[in-house]
């Protein structure tokens, strides 16, 4: 009997029919990918165009964000930039002082005053400035007419393009000693009011300027998040009998929650940066006691007084604390069920 006429079992016949090109057992089983993922070499080859497109951005980040980190070595030196025309040579030849600059900072009452002013401004801006873009975005999103919505958004977004010099000039014309508010008060028999030079109200003035200038930018971010909410959710909530406030509470705000958590984490990480140029322009009007923050403290000691090691130590403390705040805030976002800046 020939080999082709040998009877086969049903299981062997079914296997042959399903895989007619099955490999010979002598050559071994066919190779399979255990993980189902591409190797690093294949991924680099596949995404080489995208990687080439990102190289300029990566180079800029490395050059302007990571390379300057090496300059933090100045915080442990009595840095003298006049040793050489080359900054690197000056850094290598400056005498080491160890932790002396940090000890001076912790014993400096001006530093702690700057820390106090920075934290007060941060909490004020977090309580008064952060919710305003959300409320304005909800208000604009509720406008039915598209043209009115576009005009309102453009008007609110326009101050974002103004420089701080122009913003402070506008506030000076309104709330300064010779401003519009003071003139109206004098015309009605009251004393004039100069908010721009009052140290007691300076923190509220800074917050109001930040709200007027940058609230429009936050509105765009939240409006973009609202645009991604499916209209089916609103229609289903309306069919269930939910009024406008119920739909906002149960549909709109949950849709904004991931964006709010992300921006809140970033804002907390930026807590010690409350506006350098804005405050520096008004520092002389109210005095350093009310206006000195960490950024102006570093600038005043490093640039004006040329105590570079002392200023670098203050900046290094600020950077380390800011990094810790980002990590803590992101951990809180994870506990709340949000992604935050990065995943777990």
Handedness of CA 50, 53, 59, 65 (dihedral sign): negative
Query: What are the CA-CA distances from residue 24 to residues 32, 33, 129, 324 (Å)?
Result: 16, 20, 73, 61
**Residues of the chain below pLDDT 50:** 1-7, 9-34
3-state secondary structure of 77: strand
Dump pLDDT digits (tens) for 7-27. 454 444 444 444 444 444 444
Task: Provide the pLDDT for residue 344.
Answer: 65
**Do residues 213 and 160 lie in contact, with contact meaning Cβ atoms separated by under 8 Å?**
yes
**Long-range pairs, 94-97, Cβ under 8 A, ≥24:** 94/309, 97/309
Task: Provide the pLDDT for residue 89.
Answer: 86
3-state secondary structure of 327: helix
**Do residues 162 and 242 lie in contact, with contact meaning Cβ atoms separated by under 8 Å?**
no
Task: Provide the pLDDT for residue 32.
Answer: 43
3-state secondary structure of 149: helix
**Do residues 259 and 225 lie in contact, with contact meaning Cβ atoms separated by under 8 Å?**
yes
Task: Provide the pLDDT for residue 36.
Answer: 61
Give backbone dihedrals phi and psi of 202, rounded to 5 degrees, phi first.
Answer: -65, -40
Task: Provide the pLDDT for residue 195.
Answer: 87
User: Could you tell me where the DSSP H helices lie in 228-307?
Assistant: 231-239, 244-247, 253-269, 276-280, 283-286, 288-291, 294-299
Task: Provide the pLDDT for residue 35.
Answer: 52
Task: Provide the pLDDT for residue 60.
Answer: 94
The DSSP element (H or E) to which 160 belongs, if any, is: none
**Do residues 315 and 298 lie in contact, with contact meaning Cβ atoms separated by under 8 Å?**
yes
Give this prediction's pTM. 0.76
Task: Provide the pLDDT for residue 76.
Answer: 93
Give the length of the chain: 344
């Amino acid at each position: 009997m020939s080999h082709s006429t040998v009877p086969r079992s049903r299981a062997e016949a079914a296997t042959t029919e399903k895989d007619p090109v099955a490999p010979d057992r002598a050559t071994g089983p066919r190779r399979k990918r255990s993980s189902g993922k591409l190797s690093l070499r294949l991924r680099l080859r596949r995404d080489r165009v995208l990687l080439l497109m990102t190289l300029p951005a990566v180079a800029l980040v490395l050059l302007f964000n990571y390379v300057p980190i090496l300059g933090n070595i100045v915080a442990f030196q009595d840095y003298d930039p006049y040793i050489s025309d080359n900054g690197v040579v000056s850094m290598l030849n400056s005498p080491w002082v160890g932790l002396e600059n940090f000890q001076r900072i912790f014993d400096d009452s001006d530093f702690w005053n700057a820390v106090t002013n920075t934290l007060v401004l941060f909490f004020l801006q977090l309580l008064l400035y952060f919710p305003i873009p959300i409320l304005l975005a909800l208000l604009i999103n509720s406008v039915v007419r598209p043209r009115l919505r576009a005009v309102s958004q453009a008007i609110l977004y326009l101050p974002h393009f103004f420089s701080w010099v122009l913003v402070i000039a506008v506030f000076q014309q309104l709330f300064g000693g010779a401003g519009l508010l003071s003139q109206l008060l004098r015309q009605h028999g009251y004393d004039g009011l100069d908010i721009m030079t009052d140290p007691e109200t300076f923190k509220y003035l800074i917050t109001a300027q930040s709200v007027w200038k940058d609230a429009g930018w936050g509105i765009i971010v939240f409006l973009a998040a609202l645009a991604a909410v499916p209209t089916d959710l609103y229609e289903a909530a309306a069919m269930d009998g939910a009024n406008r406030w119920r739909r906002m509470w149960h549909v709109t705000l949950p849709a904004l929650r991931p964006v709010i958590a992300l921006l809140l984490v970033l804002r907390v990480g930026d807590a010690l940066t409350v506006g350098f140029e804005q405050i520096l322009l008004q520092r002389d009007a109210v005095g350093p006691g009310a206006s000195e923050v960490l950024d102006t403290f570093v600038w005043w000691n490093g640039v004006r007084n040329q105590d570079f090691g002392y200023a670098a130590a203050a900046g290094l403390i600020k950077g380390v604390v800011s990094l810790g705040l980002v990590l803590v805030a992101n951990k809180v976002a994870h506990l709340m069920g949000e992604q935050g800046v990065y995943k777990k």
